Structure 1
């Protein structure tokens, strides 16, 4: 991909997740209640896993004039513009609006929120549209 635009989770967010995992792990050792230990340990594992995912699948989405490249835990998927389409999906839950970017290619659907992209999905769609033309 020549001069791709790329989006990934913000490094500060990954750092906060790793710090939270460390705090939860320390809490698991310092807490006297057995059930509290289990909850702290589960929180530490979940935060560490999410942070590791944010570190390993960078960039999550990349695009250039040829098409898009999506990095997942299972590997990298590349699609040309003729086979990929992107659109926004807005939902309202619990009184809060949420916008996601959906990229479909064949029978595969990839859904990205602002956490995965590190940017507003609307801005990413604008950049993808500019690259596509």
Structure 2
């Protein structure tokens, strides 16, 4: 069986890079004499570019097979967690200011890995179901 994979949707890094370009254009158009504006624009551009770069360098945020799951930690490092290391897989739902969100949580005891819909390119509930089914069928 090939591993299951969940990745960032391709539109997200493109949108982030377009945002970085928009910041550069806004700073260029609105006056180059203000040093604070230049610094803030530079920081925003760098942050958006780095955020997009992470999506391009490590688009697969989570993969799973019968041996366990592999998660991206940090900028692009991967960590394999065997099924016995994983204490639970669940979806954490919250609501703030009328907005609902859900995160996939993979609890490995000493580490907690959280993934949003944007990280997975799928709903966390669907991914949790697939992971729990795969875990149930994994060899002991």
Q: Could you say which residue in structure 1 is the equivalent of 2:135? A: 132
Q: Could you say which residue in structure 1 is the equivalent of 2:62? A: 61
Q: What RMSD in Å do the two structures reach over aligned CA positions?
A: 1.6
- What is the Cα deviation at residue 74 of structure 1? 5.8
Q: Could you tell me which runs of 5 or more consecutive residues in structure 1 were left unpaired when the two chains were aligned.
A: none
CA contact (8 A) 1:70 1:76 kept: yes
**1:80-91 map, 5 Å:** 80-84=82-86, 85-91=88-94
Render the CA deviation track for 1:81-124: whole Å, top value 9, x for unaligned.
11112111111111111110110112100111111111110111
Q: TM-score, normalised by structure 2?
A: 0.85
Q: Could you tell me which runs of 5 or more consecutive residues in structure 2 were left unpaired when the two chains were aligned.
A: none
**Which has the higher Rg, Structure 1 or Structure 2?**
2
Paired positions, count: 132
Q: TM-score, normalised by structure 1?
A: 0.89
* 1:110 partnered with 2:113: yes
CA contact (8 A) 2:58 2:76 kept: no
